[in-house]
Amino acid sequence: MDIYIDGEYFDKKNAKISVFDHGLLYGDGIFEGIRFYEGRVFKLKEHIQRLFISAKAILLEIEMTQDEMEEAVCETIRKNGLTDGYVRLLVTRGVGTLGLSPFACDKSTVIIIADSISLYPDEKYKEGLKLITCSTRRTAPAALSPSVKSLNYLNNVMAKVEAIFADAEEGLMLNEQGFVAECTGDNIFVVRDGKIKTPPSSAGALPGITREVIFQIAENLEVGIEESQMTRYDIYAADECFLTGTAAEVIAAVSLDRRLIGNGKPGPITEKFIESFRNIVGQEGKIISE
């Protein structure tokens, strides 16, 4: 495996960063997860744009243009001889001192990893996921905007631990007001009476790239969709529920806190969205070989 670090490629054993990198010391950095299918990188431009906006929000200077970053992603995939898989793109504040000040770091560090991925077993895409509500709350927007895809993921990690200990595949995270924000790594949607609802980003939901694709699919399928505040009751009372994310793609959730959602199986609208999503990713995206 060839891993990109600041313009050079290293094999897995020799891909290293300094222990003084602020990404390691303080979680000071940002990232993107990007999927590629059949030789095409899906929504590459949108991912890179979001990366640069996140960087701007935390005053992190990236010493590459967006076009250069896109090419670096494609070249890393080519180097690894892959046509289907996942890219983890990280930008850290770079090497600095043991102090908190980011201005002690001379330049940011860019890391690109391309590999295969399977977030959930294949059978879970047929059966759906079990969810539990986590006691760990989503970071409040007043503390750190959920729109920044930051390396600070400890609250998500601890929520995931709760889900694992409860024998669930995913954990539902609420905000400080008790409204639904998102899951530990995915956006959440519910279906009731043929219409779809999802929490707004102001509730603590990351404005996901796959989430935006769902809005496009809803328009194409002429299915009503809206953003509005949600409580757990909205999920308990839903006919269907599904999660979205770059790694997870689109996957049904069939229970929350031991309560079946609908009949406890992936619903027909969810299945239509899964089918539509898979058709889109097979046809759209930047061609890696170009």
| Token pair recorded at residue 213 | 């694709």
Would you list the DSSP string of 270-284?
A: HHHHHHHHHHHHTT-
DSSP string across 166-205: TT-SEEEEE-TTS-EEEESSSEEEEEETTEEEE--GGGT-
- The pair of structure tokens assigned to 145 is 């905007």
Is 149 marked active-site?
Answer: yes
Which residue, 36, 30, 31, is CA-closest to 77? 36
Q: Tell me how far apart the alpha carbons of residues 192 and 223 are, in angstroms, rounded to a whole number.
A: 11
Q: Would you call 148 helix, strand, or coil by DSSP?
A: coil
Instruction: Kindly compute the dihedral angle of the four CA atoms of residues 65, 70, 75, 81, in this order, to the nearest 10 degrees.
Output: 160
Helix axes 44-57, 66-79, angle to 10 degrees: 130
Strand partners, 33: 88
Q: Which of 13, 45, 107, 149 is catalytic?
A: 149
Residue with tokens 């980011």: 102
Q: What angle do CA 250, 42, 242 make, to 5 degrees?
A: 10
Q: Where are the beta strands (DSSP E) in 6-65?
A: 8-11, 29-37, 40-41
Give the residue numbers annotated as catalytic, written as ranges: 149
